[in-house]
Each structure stands twice: as C-alpha cells, then as structure tokens.
Amino acid sequence: MEYTHHYSPFSILASEHLSLKALDPLDLTMSVANKEQKNDLPSTVSVKLDRDNYPLWKSLVLPLIRGCKYDGYMLGTKQCPNQFLTSTDNTNKINPDFEDWQANDQALLGWLMNSMTVDIATQVLHCETSKQLWDEAQSLAGAHTRSKIIYLKSEFHNTHKGEMKMEQYLAKMKNLADKLKLAGSPISSSDLMIQTLNELDSEYNPVVVKLSDQINISWEATNSDHEAIGEDLISEA
C-alpha cells in the first residue's frame, strides 16, 4: 500500500524559517566582512606637500586615509603580522595576512609619495613603510615649520606702515596672518586688528581713537572685521 505524505502550510513555513535561521550567522559574517572592506584611495590630492604647507596637507590627507580605513598602517596601530607561518616541518610558508598587510601598506606608501612635491619626495625615498614615511614627513616639515613660524611672527610684529600706501600695508598684515595660519600658528582677528593699528604712524592717532570702540565691541565677533576697519582707515587716510 502506497502512502503519500501531506505537508501542511505550517510545516512548510516552519521548514523555511529554520533554513533561514541556519543562514543567519553566515549572512551576518558576510555583512561584517563587507563593512570592513577598505575603500580605494583617491587618485590625486588637491594639495601636494611642500616645505610651507604641512598643516594644510595633513588636514586634507588624514581624513581621506581614515575614510578609506588605511590609517592603522600609517599610524602604527595595525601591526605587521609575521612574514612566515609556524610549521612543524620547518618549512617557511608565507603568511597570507602578511601579504595582505604588505600590499595595503605599500599602496598607501606610494599614494603618500604621490601626494608630495618632488623636492619633499626625494628626501623620503629611503622610507620602506607608510608609517616610516609619515613620521619622516612630519619631522622634516616640523623643523622647517617651526623656523618659518618664528620668522613670520617676527615680521608680523615688526611691520610698520612707513611709506606704504594704506591698502598695501593692510594687505601685507593680512597676508602675514594668513601665512601664520597656514603654518599652524593662527593669529586671532582681534590681535590682527590691534597689531595693525599699533604700527600706524602718529598721524593716524585720531582715526585709531575713533575706531577703538568698534574694536572692543566687534573685532572678535567676525573674521570680516579686518576688511571693515580697513575700509574705515583708507577712507580717513
């Protein structure tokens, strides 16, 4: 006698539910793996590292590298695995994790080199890892930046209007402040205003007194105050 098995809709649904639950851990693992995948670094950087722009260059490239999940190689938090696997037969088998680490690190090393001017890149040619290059660039640029800041601050505090036209004097003071900001040592808007007025000739004293109330009230309120005060000085000159 032949028996026919009948499956209820409930048993079919239960079976499908169990099958789906059995796949859940795998799906979760694949999902996590996909999230850990690195993004490709951009082909070019808008600003290349030179002797004068390290703070700006760093502020541009570091977020890009972090966004692509390569920062661990450069900052040293992602340690290099052993090159060979431990084996009982004393054979040296390459560690796949080492190969992956080396490939990613060398890709980042090349990318960083390509984000530098030829002058800077030639001074770090000896670097073999992205961390070594990152530290070397910071040290190289740091020494130059410190001496540049000292020079710019000296010029900023010793610039007088003298024979310059008012427009030229104001432009020079603003330019020095911009260079200090680029070097990583910004001058506040109020300090810029005070220094600019302090170095005017005595003939401008009435104008300085007239503007003193405006200085106390609004110079720290907006970065555009320098232009506004400058226009007043030019009109009074």
CA-to-CA distance for 220 and 215, rounded, in angstroms? Answer: 8
- C-alpha span between 71 and 51 (Å, rounded): 23
Q: Are both 64 and 90 inside the same structural domain?
A: yes
Same domain? 92 vs 138: yes
Q: Alpha-carbon dihedral of residues 182, 174, 190, 165, nearest 10 degrees? A: 170
- On whether residue 66 sits in a domain, the answer given is yes
**Angle at Cα 166 formed by Cα 163 and Cα 172, nearest 5°?**
85
Q: Does 138 lie in the same domain as 60?
A: yes
Position 174 in a domain: yes
Determine, yes or no, domain membership for 217: yes
Q: What is the pLDDT of residues 126-183, one digit of tens each?
A: 999 999 999 999 988 877 788 889 999 999 999 998 889 888 998 999 999 998 988 8
- Dihedral of alpha carbons 161, 167, 172, 177, sign: positive
Q: Examine residue 164 and state whether it is found in any structural domain, yes or no.
A: yes
Residue 71 lies in a domain: yes
Same domain, 168 and 131: no
Query: Would the pLDDT of 15 be above 80?
Result: no
Residues 109, 165 within the same domain: no
Distance, CA of 31 to chain centre:
29
> Is the same domain home to 61 and 136?
yes
Residue 12 lies in a domain: no
One domain, residues 132 and 167: no
Is 73 contained in some domain?
Answer: yes
Which of 113, 142, 171 represents a domain boundary (last residue)? 142
Same domain, 128 and 164: no
Give the DSSP letter string of 107-126: HHHHHHHHTB-HHHHGGGTT
163 and 138 share one domain = no
pLDDT in tens, 92-133: 889 999 999 999 999 999 999 999 999 999 999 999 999 999
Identify the domain boundary among 94, 109, 142: 142
**C-alpha to C-alpha distance for 9 and 13, rounded to whole angstroms:** 6
- Percent above pLDDT 70 for the chain: 72
Range of the domain at 100: 54-142
What domain count does the chain have?
2
Last residue of a domain, one of 97, 115, 142: 142
The predicted model scores a pTM of 0.60
For 192, counting Cβ atoms within 10 Å of its Cβ (0-12 exposed, 13-18 middle, 19+ buried), the class is buried
- Based on the fold, state whether residues 75 and 122 are members of the same structural domain: yes
> Which pairs with CB-CB distance under 8 Å and at least 24 residues apart come from 214-217?
215/190
* Confidence bin at 31 (pLDDT 50/70/90): very low
- In order, the DSSP letters of 138-195 are HHHHHHHHHHHHHHHHHHHHH---TTS-HHHHHHHHHHHHHHHHHTT-PPPHHHHHHH
Please give the single-letter amino acid code of residue 185: S
Q: Does residue 97 sit within a domain?
A: yes
Regarding whether 213 and 133 lie in a shared domain, the answer is no
Question: Are 61 and 120 found together in one domain?
Answer: yes
